[in-house]
């Protein structure tokens, strides 16, 4: 690869990553893994792809910090003052990174479709979930709709569901603005919303019943399914 391209990718990720680390959006492991994901996307695709994955980190970080003290009082705030580690970064970004690499090696619109759907899923689930924790009403478990305490794995609320859809829609609109066609709006909004709810279903089932299945596996699986859903919607 061109050394200038590598240096440019490093500088761009540093401009975003170092302030994020200082503001406790990510811890040191999250910073390093952010370099891997961000530089990988830039080196194998272009800045437009990077902007989309950056929006995941930006919106997720902002939503996590939003009314953090209020969420802490409710006992549902993220640990370490909301700083995300490498497992969270890879859990949410590994599918997107893999699709970006495939785009760089093989090429084809299908990888971009999957990429956008994956990013929409991760962003909708993480940022939407953080907003949903602020709901004044108790959420309901997605598998049986029974009321459960806020923070229960697999719990959903009207506020959270609306936030997830709007965030996925925003990712699609951003991709459209960058020149990828109006159909990407429908694909991102639909696949992102589906993927985010798949995340809740997995959280209510596998994550709560299998000790080794943590939240990061849930994130990885839901973004993979979200990417697949986007490709299926595109093909239809």
| Weakest mean pLDDT among 65-74, 94-103, 176-185 | 65-74
User: What pLDDT score was predicted for residue 74?
Assistant: 79
189-207 mean pLDDT: 96
Query: In the chain, what percentage of residues exceed pLDDT 90?
Result: 80
Show the DSSP H helices in the chain as ranges.
3-22, 28-44, 47-65, 68-74, 86-105, 109-132, 158-177, 183-204, 206-209, 215-235
- Whether 78 has a pLDDT exceeding 80, the answer reads no
Q: What are the backbone angles phi and psi of residue 84, rounded to the nearest 5°?
A: -90, 140
- Whether 68 has a pLDDT exceeding 90, the answer reads no
Q: What is the pTM of this model?
A: 0.94
Range of the domain at 187: 3-235
Structurally, the chain folds into a number of domains equal to 1
Q: Compute the chain's Rg from CA coordinates.
A: 17
Which candidate, 218, 235, 234, places its Cα nearest to that of 92?
218
């Amino acid at each position: 690869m061109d050394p200038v391209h590598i240096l440019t990718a490093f500088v761009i990720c540093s401009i975003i990553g170092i302030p994020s680390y200082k503001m406790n959006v990510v811890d040191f492991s999250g910073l390093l893994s952010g370099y891997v994901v961000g530089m990988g996307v830039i080196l194998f695709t272009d800045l437009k792809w990077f902007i989309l994955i950056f929006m995941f980190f930006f919106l997720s970080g902002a939503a996590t910090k939003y009314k953090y003290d209020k969420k802490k009082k409710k006992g549902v705030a993220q640990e370490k003052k909301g700083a995300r580690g490498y497992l969270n970064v890879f859990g949410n970004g590994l599918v997107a990174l893999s699709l970006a690499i495939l785009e760089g090696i093989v090429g084809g619109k299908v990888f971009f479709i999957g990429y956008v759907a994956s990013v929409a899923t991760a962003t909708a689930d993480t940022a939407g979930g953080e907003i949903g924790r602020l709901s004044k009403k108790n959420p309901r478990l997605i598998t049986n709709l029974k009321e459960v305490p806020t923070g229960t794995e697999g719990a959903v609320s009207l506020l959270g569901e609306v936030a997830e859809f709007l965030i996925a829609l925003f990712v699609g609109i951003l991709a459209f603005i960058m020149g990828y066609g109006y159909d990407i709006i429908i694909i991102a909004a639909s696949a992102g919303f589906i993927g985010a709810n798949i995340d809740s279903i997995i959280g209510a089932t596998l994550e709560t019943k299998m000790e080794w299945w943590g939240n990061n596996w849930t994130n990885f699986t839901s973004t993979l399914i979200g990417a697949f859903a986007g490709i299926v919607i595109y093909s239809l």
